[in-house]
Amino acid sequence: MIKVTFFGVRGSTPCADSNHLRYGGHTSCIGVELDDRLIIFDAGSGIYNASPLALQNVHKEVHLLFSHVHLDHIMGLPFFFPVWKKDMTVHILAGSVEPYGGIHQFLSNTFTPPLFPIRFTDFPGNIQCRDFKVAENLNLFEGLKIDTCDLNHPNGAIGYRLNYKGNSVCYITDTEHSPGTLDPAILDLIQDSDLVIYDSSYNDENFSTYKGWGHSTWQEGIRLAKKANVKKLAIFHHDPSNTDDKMETIEKLATQEWDGAFIAKQGQVVEIG
């Protein structure tokens, strides 16, 4: 059984107002339960709400995989309870930070006074940091196979595919597509997968306005999913300017376009297998 929980679905910045309640205002964080193991994608502000689930893990450990380390994807890390628990192990993995000194050095330089009052190196939890290269074999635990690919985003980003007991979940966020060309690396990564979580910050109509920002559209997500024979597509990383009413409109348009698509909502749970 794979259980996916959307703890944060927003891009760029948290949105805490009455116009962002139905779909959620926390930034990127996805929890993936693989039987009694826990993988978390990104540490946006939503990771705070993933804390109870992580603390209940029978193995007293969690694997945190970063797509990249822009602020909206790391801001919640100091507020993730396991990093403060001496009996918890938090494995942090990143594949795009080596040019900047590696993930441990980056987090040590970031979460330190005066930005944060306690140094990352003084967090009490057993934190294990690891940098990896795309296509490197990531052996986290028995039965799990992880595939990765590079994404088109400023300063780099990584796409993931978790393969577990015949099912798969893909996390493809913060990537900019080239209009008229489906990204072959993404197509290969998501082929025949059960669920693809895809960066859908914009739409085809306004996409050119944000050229170079490193994001994609819900229409491109559908095109990729249909071409790759994907079962379900989660439209994700919502633009902060997209209010609940606007998201509702996108949801209607997207589901009319393809019945395999849905809008990721904060707190939503999807079970696979």
Mean pLDDT, rounded, for 17-31: 97
| Other residues' Cβ atoms within 10 Å of the Cβ of residue 124 | 13
Confidence band, pLDDT 50/70/90 cuts, at residue 136: confident
Cβ within 8 Å of residue 197, ≥6 positions away: 4, 30, 41, 169, 170, 171, 172, 173, 234, 236, 264
> Residue 1 pLDDT more than 90?
no
pLDDT at 38: 98
Dihedral-angle region of residue 260 (phi above 0 means left; psi in -120 to 50 means alpha; beta otherwise):
alpha
Average pLDDT over residues 143-167: 97
pLDDT average, residue stretch 246-254: 97
The whole-chain average pLDDT of the chain stands at 97
Average of per-residue pLDDT across 229-257: 97
Q: What is the pLDDT of residues 45-60, one digit of tens each?
A: 999 999 999 999 999 9
pLDDT at 122 over 90: yes
In a 3-state reduction of DSSP, which class is residue 55? helix
Looking at residue 135, what is its pLDDT? 84
Flag whether the pTM goes above 0.85. Answer: yes
pLDDT bucket at 137, cuts 50 / 70 / 90: confident
User: What pLDDT is stored for residue 139 in this prediction?
Assistant: 85
CATH for 2-272 (3.30.565.10, 3.60.90.10, 3.30.750.200, 3.60.15.10): 3.60.15.10
- Res 273: pLDDT: 87
- Give the HSE-up count for residue 256: Cα atoms under 13 Å, Cβ half-sphere: 6
Q: Each residue of 81-103: pLDDT tens digit?
A: 999 999 999 999 999 999 999 99
Q: Which residues pair with 32 in a beta bridge?
A: 4, 39
pLDDT confidence bin for 74, thresholds 50/70/90? very high
Of the chain, the percentage scoring pLDDT greater than 90 comes to 97
Distances (CA, A) of 216 to 11, 53, 123, 164, 170: 12, 30, 35, 27, 16
**Amino acid at site 47:** I
Domain residues of the chain, as ranges?
Answer: 2-272
